Structure 1
Amino acid sequence: MNNIKKKYIAYIVVATIIVYATVRYFGTVERYILRVTNTLMPFVAGAMMAYIINILMDAYEDLLLKKFHNKKIIRAVSIVLSIFTFVLVIVLLLGLIIPQLVKIMFSIMYTDPGDIKKIIESISKNNIVDKIADIMNIDIKNIDISGYVTKLIHSVMSSVGNILMGVISGISGIFNTVISVFMAVVFAIYILVDKERIALQGDKLLRAFLPSKRDTVIDVLSIFNKSFRNYFISQIKEAIILGVLLYIVMIIARLPYASSISILVGVTALIPVIGAYAGLFIGALMIITKSFSSMIIFIIVHTLVQQFENNIIYPRVVGSSVGLPGMWVIVAVALGGSLFGIFGVFVAVPVAASLYFILKRETLKRL
């Protein structure tokens, strides 16, 4: 008993010293934490990349196992094909979207004031706008549309300027970025090659240091893995279907930028809740440079396709793969975005779904 008491006292003393030193030298500790975090970021990115690529690699391995039996060759070929597919998709998306976005930025920057005046006049004289204004009891003639549009253009111009300045300042750090990306890719390849051995080493650590909690830890990790895997696969399926549907409808309606906007909407659809609205806003901004009436048609088309996809296709394709009620999806996205930015928005739903499943299961057990 005395030894146990002495051990706990020692723990308390050490914890007290650590807390005091952290508070007393908080600035120094914060700098070291940031330095360590920045150093580890390529490896964290590599681990995340490996997790996503592993989904592709499992599919390729299942396909190749039907024709070949050498596991080493199958693993090597699957890794190469998975990384090639991953990089190819990213390059294609960036190659299709970025030129169009740059084009629209410059078209906005160099828009003739006379064209802006024509757009304003077409908005004020548009029959659809008049009908909407009548329904909402808005006197559109007394609204300073020109002032609002001017403010919008100024805000867009300042945003474009900030983006360009950010790109110029980011060029100076491109060497470090290339090195970080290279390290992340190499680390991801190491993980994919030795994933079974890494899992075995993790199991040995659990048996050695947490033997009583081993089964619980493995169970929780398997729940999180299933949630993340199902979420990524279902979101990608949904995004592809939404992009294809929107492209077909836009071609039928003869709307401009059909391919670029469809791909953009499909990519932004990967972001839960707010992704669809982001794609709608950027697409409308691109089309308004061509025609205001086309923009109105695009908004209607996008809304109809989005509703059809959400209510008809999404339940059949995705179903209950995530298993998180819609109310908690909104809460999770808001909380994840406020805490960790865009990264938090992406991972908030599968994390919340995992915690929801664990809590639900434990509640049922206790009841």
Structure 2
Amino acid sequence: MKNITWKTCARLGATALIVYLCIRYWGGIESFLAILLNGVTAILAGIIIAYVVNIPMRFFERVLPGETGDGTRNRVFSLLLAIVCIVIVALFVILLIVPALVDAVITLAHDLPGIINTIVSSDFVKTVLPASILDKVSGIDWGQIVGSIATWLQSGITSILPGIASFLGVAAAWIVGILFAFWYLAEKDKLSTQCHRMVRSYLSPALDEKMTRLLGIIDDRFHRFIVAQSLEALIFGTIITVVALLLGLPYATMLGVLIGVMSLIPMYGAYIGAIFGAFIILATSWQQALVFLIAFIVVAQVESNFVYNRVVGRRVGLTGMWPFIGVTLGTVLFGIPGAFVGVPIMSVIFQIVHEDLTKRESLPKDALTPLERVQQKLSD
């Protein structure tokens, strides 16, 4: 009891008061935290947008001549060109894929019973599936199923309306993020200098060096991954378009664009795109949809074994099973966003471990590891 001072009592009292106020006014605190989270989400969205836009922007900054001493005009033109290129690509993808998808849905909703009956009555299906299964499929009233789905969609519209407010909130956060991204890209040199000054002022030189090295690795690996994955998606989409044209499949260009865009999701994205592509072709012919799936599987196997490891794997420093492990872990932990960042995060970890192993192997045999040095200090 003699060791208890008035400072200790004051700290305990302040802690108890803070806990009481948090419990008493938790509703207001929760609202404040929600607003704060929306602000943080907008900033994070802006950082992501700025990082992606900065990649083509840096390319234009290298190829465009600067007309002013500080390169301000060069930067403005580069930013505008990068935005225009991204918007053009996005509009091209949307205008090419969405109409075909809508037409396929309308056609299937109208002709699905006839398509199912044609598939069931074909000689190929009769030789593959047992007669009992074919009888069950033939006995299904597909028209009633389509009508039930349409009724469910119509009734679902009313349930979607309450979510419009939350959607608008997310959209507003992304709009703020876009504005933040443009401001950051226009002032990135000044902001980078200010951040470096703060880090050097408040951190030790050793920690400053380690943090700078870590951020450099993260930037390098993510930049390499985005460029390589985009190139791989372009190659994959082009191959699919050529194969679809050679096989006489409908919507050949749209199929290539769809699978190319979905290939931006490593490993699994192309297969999801193939399912949508087969669904669209199914509105025209189920035989052509089957041919497309078979051709896609063959192309995907060749692409994953020969193209992906050379274009993406080597550029990010991962080959073999490591990209697959990164995508799988990222998807399991963080869903679709994790699938995007799984490979570059695994590449960052791989590079850090590699540098640490190289450093340890170059040390003398009797040198102490960092953990052993800490243990020695504690024992002393």
Partner of 1:298: 292
- Report deviation, 1:77: 0.6
1:239-261 superposed Cα distances (whole Å, 9 cap, x missing partner): 11111111111111110121222
Structure 1 residues 339 and 49: CA distance shift in structure 2, 3 A:
same
Structure 2 CA distance for aligned equivalents of residues 364 and 233 of structure 1: 28
User: 2:265 corresponds to which letter in structure 1?
Assistant: I
Asked if residue 141 in structure 1 is aligned to residue 113 in structure 2, the reply is no
Asked if residue 209 in structure 1 is aligned to residue 207 in structure 2, the reply is no
Name the % identity.
29
User: 1:200 corresponds to which letter in structure 2?
Assistant: T
**Structure 2 length normalisation: TM-score?**
0.79
Partner of 1:44: 44
User: 1:208 corresponds to which letter in structure 2?
Assistant: S
- Report deviation, 1:281: 1.0
Partner of 1:35: 35
Structure 1 residues 158 and 243: CA distance shift in structure 2, 3 A:
farther
Asked if residue 354 in structure 1 is aligned to residue 352 in structure 2, the reply is no
Structure 1 CA distance for aligned equivalents of residues 354 and 247 of structure 2: 47
Structure 1 residues 22 and 300: CA distance shift in structure 2, 3 A:
farther
- Report deviation, 1:168: 5.6
1:45-99 superposed Cα distances (whole Å, 9 cap, x missing partner): 111111111110111011113x756511111111111111112211211121122
- Report deviation, 1:336: 2.1
- Report deviation, 1:207: 1.0
Which region of structure 1 is more displaced relative to structure 2, 176-185 or 84-93? 176-185
Structure 2 CA distance for aligned equivalents of residues 340 and 188 of structure 1: 24
Partner of 2:124: 126
Describe the SS at the equivalent of 2:316. Answer: coil
User: 1:45 corresponds to which letter in structure 2?
Assistant: A
Partner of 2:114: 114
Structure 1 residues 259 and 169: CA distance shift in structure 2, 3 A:
farther
Describe the SS at the equivalent of 2:290. Answer: helix
Q: 8 Å contact 1:269–1:275 — kept in the other structure?
A: yes
Structure 1 residues 352 and 314: CA distance shift in structure 2, 3 A:
closer
Asked if residue 85 in structure 1 is aligned to residue 85 in structure 2, the reply is yes
Structure 1 residues 39 and 109: CA distance shift in structure 2, 3 A:
farther
Describe the SS at the equivalent of 2:321. Answer: helix
Structure 2 CA distance for aligned equivalents of residues 18 and 315 of structure 1: 59
1:13-70 superposed Cα distances (whole Å, 9 cap, x missing partner): 89x87997899689756654443222222221111111111110111011113x7565
Structure 1 residues 152 and 206: CA distance shift in structure 2, 3 A:
farther
Structure 1 residues 360 and 214: CA distance shift in structure 2, 3 A:
same
Partner of 1:328: 322
User: 1:251 corresponds to which letter in structure 2?
Assistant: L
Cα-Cα RMSD: 3.6
1:107-137 superposed Cα distances (whole Å, 9 cap, x missing partner): 2333352343223323xx227x84xx4xxxx
Q: 8 Å contact 2:262–2:273 — kept in the other structure?
A: yes
Structure 1 residues 358 and 120: CA distance shift in structure 2, 3 A:
same
Where do 5+ consecutive residues of structure 1 fail to align?
A: 1-5, 134-138
Q: 8 Å contact 2:39–2:173 — kept in the other structure?
A: no
Structure 1 residues 287 and 202: CA distance shift in structure 2, 3 A:
same
Q: 8 Å contact 2:237–2:259 — kept in the other structure?
A: yes
Structure 2 CA distance for aligned equivalents of residues 165 and 288 of structure 1: 30
Describe the SS at the equivalent of 2:248. Answer: coil
Partner of 1:193: 186
Say how many residue pairs are matched: 348
- Report deviation, 1:264: 0.7
